[in-house]
Structure 1
């Protein structure tokens, strides 16, 4: 019998912050737990951002068999690296990276360490891998419910539900009154407004919808496995339903907690409490916020972060600011530097009224980016005002932090629906940010009213279930081992 060559997984995540961070967690887990050789591919733009944020050492080979590479992402090279790529521009340009990625695969083969699979959530890359005769493994970085909602895109079109007939349907109640009750594994009272934001179009030739349909068909027909950053107790019903229409699915989340648990078992010690996983954060992180939190009482601080891509308007920023001030609670608020640039101001404080900054001295901490995982683990955090990106929701759940939900794009509407209605760990802020409502809801979730006690209790329960999933014999621990044996084992490459 020929000797099996070592498994070699080439990772290329969609090159934005949330996708890169979770993919790097998975890559390092496979390398540490499964002995898988890894080549982790950044876009050239993100490579520059990592180096500027963390230094050249962040992309150095930290362990034998783990290396970083980079390819162009198809965007003009003179773009401002500090401003996140426009999601639509990136979506339509990223196919240009495929020839460069193929070159990396050819070089790996010539070096005697050929790739044995490609792991990505970019459908151009998954199709290219299949064309080259390599297993295409989809690491899908949304929630399971978000993926199942996306899988319904063609059916929604075929039933004439989308595209919308006219712009009035965005505001006349159509999104709320249109019930989508036929999706396996999902609640029968799902509304159209609970589906990904791409359904909110009137364009019969909408290019984003076309990409979503093509991507979902790629998952069904061109991939050999689908990996999800979730755990069975949280989304088991929808995962079971998807298992009937997709290739084998492996739930291995929450990835940060599974990484930490694996470190403990391997070394017998807790992992070092570093602010960030090297090369996962594309922005410099402000560790000073952790020192500030250390001076606050347990569960006394509201954490506010709308992620790495979405923007608030100037009006929304001002309304939110005064809502936080009027709530009476301390807060840690992330306002990205590029958010400030969009409003023509400089730095987090530049976008806010001077009176607000003065009034909240000592009670508020403003920063352009922070080590979110460490922040959400901190005892001082009492609640999380979030855009409901999946990494943020899962990190909130894993750390037992109740949420105030303000979804804005992509799968965030679906995540919000599940967080507020199915898991009951959050409350939705509503369609508009208004200071009185923000202040009321912060007091409700952070205070001793019945609603606040209920969401905190549910958050604590889900934290315990997440912890159970990542210990040895837990579902995600077992699923990771099974995935290594079934998808990444060297014997599969003989």
Structure 2
């Protein structure tokens, strides 16, 4: 296509596009997914974008990347609403998830409605008002009142796996079947393990699940007291029971979750599976005007580019990347066990240790102090950073494995890069994600609930040095990871691109 034809095509797209207000859940991975979606709609469909951050996160984004809000585009704007939470002493700490869940229900709806009202009042024929609201499902209680008040079409964005929506959806049935089987709190470990290994093969769209693979407290007598679990259940049931006609956008693809997507389509119609979104963004032709926007990543911590230079000095597939994401926490003892396991493995590693990674056990953070013997043993062999450009790291030729908490975005980025995983899921959907990685797709190994240095050392060696029982474990995982990389890339260019075009057609039809 010639440059003149490209300009004509882009001008045509701009005339057809609408104005989307994008409301992400104010957590790191959710922001990145929504930002990727917003960029796609802006560049491919000519949509004017209003991207909504909380005031707390806006300040963090500015500290991590002062250029974040300096884009000169008049049709892609960043705005803020308050979250109603008290200020933190550490301005770069992760906000309490339970408090955020409550704020989305009890506080943020009014500021968001005021924002939408302002956008409508200041709109012109050129900006076409607000034609749709794209809301993270976890922000549904914030977005729905504004959509209803101003009669604006509302679409929900599910940033996790399709299968992770199904367990909360079938919560009542799960509880009816499992609670009578749940052992008492003081049951023996044998009784508890027997219950946790109970296979759940009767939920449509979910494969190979056990009780231990469900979100924390699922199916047990502790579930009633789990605030985050109950907040998640309330959000999902709000969609299933009260908003089943709203279209849903899911950051996955048919090749990964065909059965789960089929089941989801019985809940919400239509379903647009357009993942991995970070891959779709890579194949977009970007004009000079939007180049600066494409470089914006939306990271709440400052990326350390030095880790990429350090990786350049390492051999191919030799480095283990270690990161527990943006929300998961470690106890101090767990930090030490992971550290000594990495030290004793003798393998090179890049470890992301957020300043607030360590939790004292009472929901307060502590300084992540590493043992002196670890620092001495790993000098020159390990690189520790507070944050990094994860997608670039995983695609670096020196990376041979990923020790992960199994957040869905991390899994998608690892699969897209063809990197096998060591899995240590912490909470929520991460346990189910881990089960799929290890049993369904066979591209990872689960370390287990407890953290023992000897186990960490053993699993790292299995993955990185092919030091398994049959001397083939690592090789098999790496081969499978490469196969899935091909499948996921083909899906991004195939079914996901097709679904994105359908999404654009639907959004464009809202203008008529």
- Is TM more than 0.5 here? yes
Secondary structure, counterpart of 1:10 in structure 2: strand
Secondary structure, counterpart of 2:266 in structure 1: coil
Question: Is it true that 1:230 corresponds to 2:247 in the alignment?
Answer: no
Change (3 A) 1:147 1:79: farther
Quote the Cα distance in structure 2 between the aligned partners of 1:174 and 1:40.
Answer: 47
| Matching residue of 1:18 | 29
| Matching residue of 2:132 | 117
Contact 2:97–2:228 (CA under 8 A) maintained in structure 1: no
| Matching residue of 2:428 | 410
Contact 1:15–1:43 (CA under 8 A) maintained in structure 2: yes
> Equivalent of 2:484, from 454, 462, 466?
462
Q: Which moved more, 1:106-115 or 1:453-462?
A: 106-115
Quote the Cα distance in structure 2 between the aligned partners of 1:23 and 1:90.
Answer: 18
Question: Is it true that 1:83 corresponds to 2:93 in the alignment?
Answer: yes
Contact 1:386–1:392 (CA under 8 A) maintained in structure 2: yes
Change (3 A) 1:213 1:162: farther
Quote the Cα distance in structure 2 between the aligned partners of 1:469 and 1:105.
Answer: 35
| Matching residue of 1:215 | 235
Secondary structure, counterpart of 1:396 in structure 2: helix
| Matching residue of 1:477 | 497
Quote the Cα distance in structure 2 between the aligned partners of 1:482 and 1:344.
Answer: 45
Contact 1:307–1:387 (CA under 8 A) maintained in structure 2: yes
Contact 1:31–1:66 (CA under 8 A) maintained in structure 2: yes
**Deviation, structure 1 residue 190:** 1.7
Quote the Cα distance in structure 2 between the aligned partners of 1:37 and 1:58.
Answer: 18
- Give CA-to-partner distance per residue, 1:420-476, whole Å, 9 cap, x none: 0001110000111111111111111112321111111110001011111223xx111
Secondary structure, counterpart of 1:40 in structure 2: strand
Change (3 A) 1:62 1:464: farther
TM-score with structure 1 length normalisation?
A: 0.91
Quote the Cα distance in structure 1 between the aligned partners of 2:365 and 2:113.
Answer: 41
**Deviation, structure 1 residue 309:** 1.0
Secondary structure, counterpart of 2:134 in structure 1: strand
Question: Is it true that 1:364 corresponds to 2:382 in the alignment?
Answer: yes
- Give CA-to-partner distance per residue, 1:245-291, whole Å, 9 cap, x none: 2221111111111101113xx569xx99x999525101111000000
Secondary structure, counterpart of 2:326 in structure 1: coil
Q: Aligned residue pairs: how many? A: 477
What pairs up with 1:29-48 in 2 under 5 angstroms?
A: 29-48=40-59
What pairs up with 1:373-452 in 2 under 5 angstroms?
A: 373-448=391-466, 449-452=471-474
Change (3 A) 1:65 1:251: same
| Matching residue of 1:243 | 265
Contact 1:74–1:90 (CA under 8 A) maintained in structure 2: no
What pairs up with 1:23-422 in 2 under 5 angstroms?
A: 23-55=34-66, 57-95=67-105, 96-112=107-123, 113-120=128-135, 121=137, 122-132=139-149, 133-159=151-177, 161=179, 166-168=184-186, 171=189, 172-187=192-207, 189-199=208-218, 202-204=222-224, 206-220=226-240, 221-222=242-243, 224-263=246-285, 277-278=295-296, 280-339=298-357, 346=367, 351-422=369-440
- Give CA-to-partner distance per residue, 1:232-255, whole Å, 9 cap, x none: 111112111211222211111111
Change (3 A) 1:481 1:5: closer
**Deviation, structure 1 residue 60:** 3.2
**Deviation, structure 1 residue 209:** 4.2
- Give CA-to-partner distance per residue, 1:361-388, whole Å, 9 cap, x none: 1100011111101000100000000000
- Give CA-to-partner distance per residue, 1:121-167, whole Å, 9 cap, x none: 21212422442222221111111111222222232234453896643
Unaligned runs of 5+ in 2: 1-14
Secondary structure, counterpart of 2:130 in structure 1: coil
TM-score with structure 2 length normalisation?
A: 0.88
**Deviation, structure 1 residue 397:** 0.5
Quote the Cα distance in structure 2 between the aligned partners of 1:330 and 1:465.
Answer: 29
Contact 2:351–2:384 (CA under 8 A) maintained in structure 1: yes
